[in-house]
Amino acid sequence: MYTTKISGVAHYVPDNIVTNNDLSKTIDTNDEWITERTGIKERRFAGPNDSTSSMGTRAAERAIERAGIDKSEIDFIIFATLSPDYYFPGPGVLVQEQLGLKEVGALDVRNQCSGFVYGLSVADQFIKTGMYKTILLIGSELHSGGLDMTTRGRGVSVIFGDGAGAVVLKRAEDGEEGVLSTHLHSEGKHAEELALIAPNTKRWVPTIMQNKDPDDISYFPYMNGNFVFKHAVVRFSEVIMEALQTNNATISDIDLLIPHQANLRISQFIQNKLQMRDDQVYNNIMRYGNTTAASIPIAMSEAWEEGRIKSGDLICLAAFGSGFTWASALLKW
């Protein structure tokens, strides 16, 4: 059986920095509230030339360069996002075109904040079975165009940011380790606690327009923040422990935990609960906000650039979000 190595990781974020003070010009919010509740100081918002696919492509180009491969070696594309360029088709095919790849398969993953780890798991199965040798996995989000940027939406809109991260996954050479295990979960009874309900098959855009109901804000993301927070801290801890137990490892064996960047308070809660040192946990939500499927690869890319990930390190990825879905992966870099 083969194993899966991350051979290149990179990210792309738009230049436009939006601070908490910037948001407070149009929304009844303030730097103190946002910092205290979430840890976020600023986020990036896409410019007119950015799209979910184009940001993903920019991150992918850098990841391919860092992997030292030719793009013609890519056998398959996996694209995780909740904010696709189009309702359909998904952005995977757009990356195939934008990168000028041969006619390889492109799979779109719809698992929100857990999307990158779900995508990694799918890629790992393809590589393990020998079906593909080199897979491009992207997480990218353009949230800013779809948020309610009025005071009504402040509980959600101050949290999210735009950006993309990408990894090149390769079949490991003999004796090399890589992805050790992945763990995927869902609990659909909570689907509407964190969701973007419309458009959907019962309420398409023309219906919403015809009804002209000012209270119908189903086309904006909704989050029951307290409820999600309480579930997140439990599920994050559980799924990290599941990954460790599967591999007979302990908390102290982890060189770096890269949690999905949902809220700095969630990361700190998990760190305290699992009694981890500061140097074992990576956080960059302060600079980017919550970038959903992009948050783990952006964090992984920055951690790698900062020298916080070295060959042989045990890395744990963990995510929780809309669905609810949650997931983890343990890998030897």
Catalytic residue numbers?
A: 113, 260, 290
Q: Which CB, 60 or 285, lies closer to ligand UT7? A: 285
- How far are the Cα atoms of 115, 164, 230 from residue 63, in angstroms, in the given order? 18, 11, 35
Contacts of the segment 131-134: beta carbons below 8 A, 24+ positions apart: 132/75, 132/76, 133/73, 133/75, 133/170, 133/171, 134/69, 134/73, 134/74, 134/75, 134/76, 134/168, 134/169, 134/170, 134/171
**Residues 94, 136, 232, 257: which binds ligand UT7 (CB under 6 A)?**
232
> Residue 225, interface with ligand UT7 (CB under 6 A)?
yes
Q: Considering the complex, what minimum distance in angstroms separates the CB of residue 238 from ligand UT7?
A: 15
Contact region with ligand UT7 (CB under 6 A), list: 29-37, 96-104, 205-213, 309-317? 29-37
Contact region with ligand UT7 (CB under 6 A), list: 5-13, 31-39, 90-98, 250-258? 31-39
Amino acid at 318: A
Q: Determine the number of helices (DSSP H) and then strands (DSSP E) in the chain.
A: 11, 13
Task: Take residue 16 and report the two structure tokens written for it.
Answer: 């436009």
Contact region with ligand UT7 (CB under 6 A), list: 201-209, 211-219, 228-236, 274-282? 228-236
> Residue 266, interface with ligand UT7 (CB under 6 A)?
yes
How far is the C-alpha of 245 from the C-alpha of 247, rounded, in Å? 5
Site mask, ligand UT7, residues 283-312, x = CB under 6 A? Answer: -------x----------------------
> Residue 33, interface with ligand UT7 (CB under 6 A)?
yes
> Residue 226, interface with ligand UT7 (CB under 6 A)?
yes
Contact region with ligand UT7 (CB under 6 A), list: 32-40, 91-99, 168-176, 203-211? 32-40
Phi first, then psi: give them for residue 11, nearest 5 degrees.
-145, 165
Residue with tokens 């509230």, as numbered in its chain: 33
The closest alpha carbon to 112, from 315, 254, 320, belongs to 320
How far is the C-alpha of 128 from the C-alpha of 107, rounded, in Å? 17
> Residue 40, interface with ligand UT7 (CB under 6 A)?
no
Pairing status of strand 76-80 against strand 134-141:
parallel
Q: Considering the complex, what minimum distance in angstroms separates the CB of residue 65 from ligand UT7?
A: 30
Task: Take residue 228 and report the two structure tokens written for it.
Answer: 């999600």
Q: Which CB, 3 or 157, lies closer to ligand UT7? A: 157
Q: Which CB, 149 or 198, lies closer to ligand UT7? A: 149
Amino acid at 241: M
> Residue 115, interface with ligand UT7 (CB under 6 A)?
no
> Residue 267, interface with ligand UT7 (CB under 6 A)?
no
> Residue 263, interface with ligand UT7 (CB under 6 A)?
yes
**Residue ranges in contact with ligand UT7 by CB under 6 A:** 29, 33-34, 37-38, 113, 154-155, 158-159, 225-226, 228-229, 232, 262-263, 266, 290, 321
